[in-house]
Amino acid sequence: MAENYEEPAYELLQKCRGFEVRKYVDTIQARVSTGGMNYGESSRPFRRIASYIFGGNERQQSIAMTAPVHMWESGEESLMAFTMPSEHKMKDLPKPTDSGVELLHVEGEVVAVLKFSGLSRPSKSLRLQKKLRKLIEAEGLTTSGNAKLAVYDNPMSTLPFLRRNEIHIPINNQEFS
């Protein structure tokens, strides 16, 4: 667990050659759009969501940090999200004071996961997304959504070779029913 932060619960469905298949539970996310196709510029959206959990909300309530931070591209924008601690229900969470921070219920999903350490630059993430897609295809599985980068450790305080990162790609969950 990254710096003892809570992580979303999941069930390990299968270990494949080079990756895992996990089924995640439903979660609540605080999410922002970075306003373009570049999640490499992640410090500003990170600060916006961090502000929400550190009291930038209608109740000035602190909310525990969790891991990982998710980043992905969708349509013409890049998104970043923090998962809210599992103890919280949507109705209990305070409204963000930043209108660009959105709280969303996210249905659990089945994802293929490729683990890696080191820097999580966009070029490396894209290369590993391609690798994971090939591994998924080689197993006869089909993808069903956009790839996400999951960053578990603080890049300011964790040496690159100690960092835990993952690529998550949703796969057709009927293949695991």
What lies within 8 Å, CB to CB, of 126 at 6+ separation is none
* In the chain, domain spans: 2-176
What's the average model confidence in pLDDT over 74-85?
92
If DSSP states are collapsed to H, E and C, what string results for 133-158? HHHHHHCCCCECCCCEEEECCCCCCC
pLDDT, tens only, 52-63: 999 999 999 999
pLDDT, tens only, 110-162: 999 999 999 998 899 999 999 999 999 999 999 999 999 999 998 888 998 99
Find, among 149, 147, 77, 146, the residue nearest to 120 by Cα.
149
Angle value at C-alpha 23, between 96 and 29, nearest 5 degrees: 5
Per CATH, the architecture of 2-176 is what? Alpha-Beta Barrel (3.20)
- Does the global pTM surpass 0.95? no
Find, among 127, 113, 125, 116, the residue nearest to 170 by Cα.
113
